[in-house]
Amino acid sequence: MKNQINKPMRYIIYARKSTEDSGRQIQSIDDQINFLKKLAKEKDLDIVEIFSESKSAKKPGRPVFEKMLSFIQSKKATGILCWKLDRLSRNPKDGGDIQWYLQERIIEEIRTSDRIYLPEDNALISSVELGMANQAIRDLSRNVKRGIKSKIERGVWANRAPIGYLNKDKGIVIDKSKAKYIKRAFELYRKSNISIKEIANILFKEGFRSKAGNKYHKSKIQRMLRNTFYYGVMFIQGEYYSGTHKPIISKRLFDEVQEVLDGTNRSKRKKHSFAFRGFLYCEKCGCLLTATTKKGYNYYYCTNGKGNCEEHKRYLREEKVEKILAESLGKLKMSSEMIDIIYQSAKEKKDLKKDYRQEVLNNLQNELNSVITKQERLLEGYCSEIISKEAYGRKTKDFRKKEIDLKTQIKEISEKSSKEDSTLEQTKKLFLKACYAKKEFLQASKRRQTKTLQDVLWNATVQNQKLAKVSFKQEFQLIADTPNLNDFDTMFGDRDSNPNCLDQNQVSYH
């Protein structure tokens, strides 16, 4: 027995850092080991093995820790050197194993930087310290979660910024280099004839790439198109929160894209791209003209959908259609004087719209107040046990969503009102665009020609291989129908003499 007592104790060193990242705590492991080696040298302790790992002790399952326990169970060592007791454990299971091994003298000594733990010590001491380590990690977790929830409720994003935003100064800001691509993706998909895969290809060609320079996969684009964050609303764990970040798109654009994604506003995709398809109709039967390619040339012809039209036998070359449409666009021309008159008219109209917009805001605010009142009554009913927990949770979620939507609408209308003065310049741009429509059309690519027609033209009809009629968008049709563009009375002779009574669609503000 005497020889067993005098037999030198063998020790292992155990060092651990709390996370797996490659940051500053990598050095802390080296510091722990160096300190413990120095301590062993000063105390003349026999070190037979060193164990270290970068693993959180919050939960059981550390591989190096388990290896260390097996090493001790095999009697290869009976003492442990570690920086602090919490390096060994921060959870009840591992802490219990350490205490049991110490009580059964499988571990004869645990030596830290400031004290020694022995089997004959009061078990309460190590239990308290290990319990405090466990409680500390639980408190830290709760505090982190509480802090994140508090930030979310204040409208502050607490995680990594989505594509199109950057984390900055404990918040997020718009990433100007990528936000334009986010908006473009929504606008492209809203047209409902472009697939997500095609959008991914278009954006890649235009410079939208990941940090590694790769193309964003279509699945990434689809998730982006579903993300409410881009119009100012955060969706976290089934709940909606109004964000303080600046939106990249409007809620209206987001909702329109959702309709397309859900199939409620999705037209049949086109297999081929023809610049003028969808704009041309047969004057005789009213059927849409389709297009085909033969021997390298594009031709347009009647679909003869009603089965009684001979026009479908006549093909119209795309070059001829382009020339006739360009001539038609030449009708859209106004003098600078007329442009200034319509600009002043729009300015007067803006003042009339203020009262209407304020009424809308008042109605939305009243509805919001009603929703908030209903939430308070719902809470009272739940506290009084009149309403079940399930019903309370379900209705609270519904009210919360409605509250967020109303706040978003109020925000959008308020911002639109504050910026309306600058939008008056768009009135001038509208008519200036009409002035240069023909020139730009002839010089543009096929894709840009299609865009010009989408902006200006409703449709055109063809008969005997010639353009029969052209119907412009309402504001442009007004210009085309005016015989003398320099004469205000001629232009508005058949309309109300009060320029404030112009139909809302006559002048575009967007």
Q: Which residue has the tokens 């100012």?
A: 232
Residue 137 has pLDDT above 70, yes or no: no
Task: Report pLDDT for 140.
Answer: 54
Q: What are phi and psi of 305, to 5 degrees?
A: -65, -25
Q: What is the dotted CATH code of the domain comprising 165-261? A: 3.90.1750.20
Q: Is 382 exposed, middle or buried (0-12, 13-18, 19+ CB in 10 A)?
A: middle
Pairing of strands 457-463, 280-282: parallel
Say how many CA atoms lie within 13 Å of 268 toward its Cβ. 3
- Number of Cβ within 10 Å of residue 56's Cβ equals 16
Residue 19 has pLDDT above 70, yes or no: no
Residue 169 has pLDDT above 70, yes or no: yes
Task: Report pLDDT for 69.
Answer: 92
Task: Report pLDDT for 95.
Answer: 82
Cβ atoms 81, 47 nearer than 8 A: yes
Task: Please state, in angstroms and rounded to a whole number, the distance separating the CA atoms of residues 81 and 353.
Answer: 78
Task: Report pLDDT for 48.
Answer: 94
Residue 508 has pLDDT above 50, yes or no: no
Average pLDDT, the chain: 78
Task: Please state, in angstroms and rounded to a whole number, the distance separating the CA atoms of residues 373 and 361.
Answer: 18
Q: What is the pLDDT of residues 36-95, one digit of tens each?
A: 999 999 989 999 999 999 888 888 888 999 999 999 999 999 999 998 888 888 888 888
Length of the chain: 510
Task: Report pLDDT for 71.
Answer: 95
Residues spanned by CATH 3.40.50.1390 within the chain? 2-144
Cβ atoms 404, 241 nearer than 8 A: yes
Alpha carbon separation from 322 to 161, 183, 277, 319, 328 (Å, rounded): 46, 31, 12, 5, 10
CB < 8 Å & 24+ apart, contacts of 374-378 = 374/399, 375/399, 375/400, 375/403
Q: Is 73 helix (H, G, I), strand (E, B) or coil?
A: helix
Helices (H) and strands (E) in the chain, counts: 17, 15
Task: Report pLDDT for 301.
Answer: 86
Alpha carbon separation from 310 to 229, 294, 313, 465 (Å, rounded): 54, 20, 6, 12
Q: What is the dotted CATH code of the domain comprising 2-144? A: 3.40.50.1390
Q: Which residue has the tokens 């609408």?
A: 409
Cβ atoms 404, 375 nearer than 8 A: no
Three-state DSSP string of 420-456: HHHHHHHHHHHHHHHHCHHHHHHHCCHHHHHHHHHHH
Q: What are phi and psi of 345, to 5 degrees?
A: -65, -45
Residue bearing the bigger pLDDT, 361 or 80: 80
Residues spanned by CATH 3.90.1750.20 within the chain? 165-261
Highest mean pLDDT among 77-86, 323-332, 484-493: 77-86
